[in-house]
Amino acid sequence: MPIVKFILSRTWIWSWVAAAGAFMMVMALTQGRGASELAYAALSFGAFAAIVGLGQMLVITLGPGNVDLSIPATMTLAGTLALKTMGSDPNTAILGFTVAIGVGILAGMMNFALIYLLRLPPIIATLAASLIFQSIAIWSNRGLRIKPPEGLADFATGRTFGLPNVALVGLGLSILVWIVLERTVFGRWLLAAGQNLRAARLAGIPVEFVRATTYITVAVFASIAGFFLSSFSGGAALNMGQEYLLTSIAVVVIGGTSIAGGMSNVPGVWGASLFMFLVVSMLNSYGLGAGVRMMLTGTIIIGIVIAASTRRTRA
């Protein structure tokens, strides 16, 4: 029984159970038909949610009040500027990626500057910054969709060893985040700052450096997601990041990361990202109306969060 106990004490297990449940529900309807198709789609689209979710997770880990609401605007800006720079020309993928990363770094620095220099609460600072990012995106290209270079589009929609390339990118980033959190001093600093900022500062941890790095990381992750999403869907659109605002927060919470900060959970973000895609897929497959669908999604999310947090207190 120790194995069962070990598994049940992992808060991330609940998001995976929910994802598997939603998957089985669709399969029950199709009698097993299209299983690999659905799994593939879930991995492709879940990857985008997972990438922005990982960034949001790091920020939320910083402790109460820390959240990045500029993720959608950063995604849009990075996608728009990168695709405009590449202008559909072949062999410009590296250049476009560099532009996207650059946008992420600048956006993150801007967010942190507002938080640190003006002492604004992160919610206000990132929301204000997102209006600026969105406006730059509108101003720079007026919402025209420029096609990604063919090679890049093929990569974004393609697969390697049967797995979607975007999922592999997401997996790589997840491993990186996991190593940083679990095996490096920086990870310890981040967790310590999230558990008690004052104690961490008194212990000699450079908390402002940790905060700055985290806010830049989340923006870079959002930029990477925006870059690949616009390459994946045939161009950047001004409203392309919109749904990732709530999704990024939801996958963190469902994944078992503590909303109070100081505790992260990388596998949970993936389970939750797959679940967020599969639950919509499941409710659509059963032909439920939009109202019922949203109500059920909300109810299921609350259920998972309760299940995950009850486990935590007992453990």
Partner 1 sequence: MKSLLLSAAAIAMATTAVHADTSGKRIALSNNYAGNSWRQAMLHSWEDVAETAVAAGTVAAADAFTTSENQATEQAAQIQNMILQGYDAIVVNAASPTALNGAVKEACDAGLVVVSFDGIVTEPCAWRIAVDFQEMGRLQVEYLAGRIPDGGKLLEIRGLAGVFVDDEISAGIHKGIEEFPQFEIAGAVHGDWAQDVAQKAVAGLLPSLPDVVGVVTQGGDGYGAAQAFKAAGRDTPLIVLGNRQDEMAWWSEQHADNGYETMSLSIAPGVASLSFWVAQQILDGAEVPKDLSVPFLKVTQDTLDTTLEGTPEGSVATIDYSLDDAKGVIAGAM
Question: Which member of 7, 8, 24, 35 binds partner 1 (CB under 8 A)?
Answer: 35
243 near partner 1, judged by CB under 8 A: yes
34 near partner 1, judged by CB under 8 A: yes
Rounded (10°) CA dihedral 72, 288, 19, 227: -20
CB of 146 to partner 1, least distance (A): 6
Site string for partner 1, 37-56 (x = CB under 8 A): xx--xx-xx-----------
| Piece of the chain touching partner 1 by CB under 8 A; list 6-14, 27-35, 172-180, 300-308 | 27-35
CB of 14 to partner 1, least distance (A): 21
Question: Which member of 234, 267, 307, 311 binds partner 1 (CB under 8 A)?
Answer: 234
Query: Crossing angle, helix 185-195 and helix 165-183, to 10 degrees?
Result: 80
Q: Are 232 and 166 in contact (CB under 8 A)?
A: yes
Question: Which member of 105, 123, 145, 312 binds partner 1 (CB under 8 A)?
Answer: 145
29 near partner 1, judged by CB under 8 A: yes
Which residue number, 66 or 285, has a Cβ lying nearer to partner 1? 285
| Piece of the chain touching partner 1 by CB under 8 A; list 52-60, 188-196, 207-215, 282-290 | 282-290
The pair of three-digit structure tokens given for residue 263, joined into one six-digit string: 């505790």
Contacts of 79 (CB under 8 A, 6+ apart): 100, 226, 227, 229, 230, 236, 240, 241
197 near partner 1, judged by CB under 8 A: no
204 near partner 1, judged by CB under 8 A: no
CB of 147 to partner 1, least distance (A): 7
CB of 228 to partner 1, least distance (A): 11
Residue ranges in 121-140 that form contacts with partner 1 under rule CB under 8 A:
131, 134, 138
229 near partner 1, judged by CB under 8 A: yes
231 near partner 1, judged by CB under 8 A: no
CA–CA distance, 51 with 273 (Å, rounded to integer): 9
SS3 of the chain: the string is CHHHHHHHCCCCHHHHHHHHHHHHHHHHHHCCCCHHHHHHHHHHHHHHHHHHHHHHHHHHHCCCCCCCCCHHHHHHHHHHHHHHHHCCCCCCHHHHHHHHHHHHHHHHHHHHHHHHHCCCCHHHHHHHHHHHHHHHHHHHHCCCCCCCCHHHHHHHHCEECCEEHHHHHHHHHHHHHHHHHHHCHHHHHHHHHHHCHHHHHHCCCCHHHHHHHHHHHHHHHHHHHHHHHHHHCCCCCCCCCCCHHHHHHHHHHHCCCCCCCCCCCHHHHHHHHHHHHHHHHHHHHCCCCHHHHHHHHHHHHHHHHHHHHHHHHHC
Residues in contact with partner 1, total (CB under 8 A)? 44
| Piece of the chain touching partner 1 by CB under 8 A; list 26-34, 111-119, 251-259, 298-306 | 26-34
287 near partner 1, judged by CB under 8 A: yes
Question: Which member of 59, 177, 191, 240 binds partner 1 (CB under 8 A)?
Answer: 240
Which residue number, 60 or 167, has a Cβ lying nearer to partner 1? 167
Return residues touching partner 1 (CB under 8 A): 26, 29-30, 33-35, 37-38, 41-42, 44-45, 131, 134, 138, 141-147, 157, 229, 232-235, 237-240, 242-243, 277-278, 280-281, 284-285, 287, 290-291, 294
